[in-house]
A and B are shown apart, each in its own frame.
Chain A
Amino acid sequence: AQKITQTQPGMFVQEKEAVTLDCTYDTSDPSYGLFWYKQPSSGEMIFLIYQGSYDQQNATEGRYSLNFQKARKSANLVISASQLGDSAMYFCAMREYTGNQFYFGTGTSLTVIP
């Protein structure tokens, strides 16, 4: 089974609007961390935001927030007030307490329309 599932291959959003990128995960480990990365066309993966499985509150970093619904095993990324520079691939990832591996989803391509 896929550890991380991103069901939206491509998304479009109007500039200044908010957008939600979906991510669901699968783990039996009660302790894990969830990450979102941005990959612009230049290729470099940029860390955006982190959520721990025991964190009581949703993580926020500037215009990025993580909508963490533990019972549903979802960790959606919300980008508020989209900017043209937000156009990129976005990857959701998970690390379980046991082991050193990160598991990545297949990514969502976001295009911000002026």
Chain B
Amino acid sequence: DVKVTQSSRYLVKRTGEKVFLECVQDMDHENMFWYRQDPGLGLRLIYFSYDVKMKEKGDIPEGYSVSREKKERFSLILESASTNQTSMYLCASSLMNPTQIFTDTQYFGPGTRLTVL
């Protein structure tokens, strides 16, 4: 079974703090994703990475950065947390299989509920 873990289930930070959210997957997946989830807005993609040291912006990258130094680990960084970044953050991974591209199912971690005061 694919296992995606996130460093914290709940996190409380203050405005202006630098925040690190860590995600680790154990299935050697090439692709990793960071989403935020807000009521009524569904999941919105922040950043994704299709290889080590590679990253691409999603729909809402402003105020965030990412790091992928190792294949299994994908970090989301809030350089200076703000109250409008209070949200649920979900990490996901998927296998990039060129011959089965349409079965590229994403597997999710349990989520981190971040509150910025």
From B19-27, B65-73, B74-82, B105-113, the one touching the partner chain is: B105-113
Interface size on A, residues (CB 8 A): 27
Contact check, B110 vs A100: say whether CB atoms are below 8 A apart: no
A105 contacts which chain B residues (CB < 8 A)? 42
B110 contacts which chain A residues (CB < 8 A)? 42-44
B34 proximal to A (CB < 8 A): no
For the complex formed, measure the closest distance between the CB of A89 and the CB atoms of chain B, giving whole angstroms.
9
For A102, give its contact among B9, B106, B109, B113 (CB under 8 Å).
B106
Size category, B interface: 20 to 34
A107 contacts which chain B residues (CB < 8 A)? 42
A12 contacts which chain B residues (CB < 8 A)? none
For B40, give its contact among A31, A45, A101, A106 (CB under 8 Å).
A106
A42-B110, A43-B88, A101-B58 given. 4 additional CB < 8 A pairs? Answer: A47-B107, A93-B106, A102-B106, A105-B42
Interface string of A38-72 (1 = CB under 8 A from B): 00001111110010110000000000000000000
For the complex formed, measure the closest distance between the CB of B94 and the CB atoms of chain A, giving whole angstroms.
8
B83 proximal to A (CB < 8 A): no
Contact check, A47 vs B48: say whether CB atoms are below 8 A apart: no
Contact check, A50 vs B45: say whether CB atoms are below 8 A apart: no
A25 proximal to B (CB < 8 A): no
Report the Cα distance A107→B92, complex, angstroms: 18
Q: Given A100-B50, A101-B45, A102-B33, do A47 and B105 touch, yes or no (CB 8 Å)?
A: yes
B101 proximal to A (CB < 8 A): yes
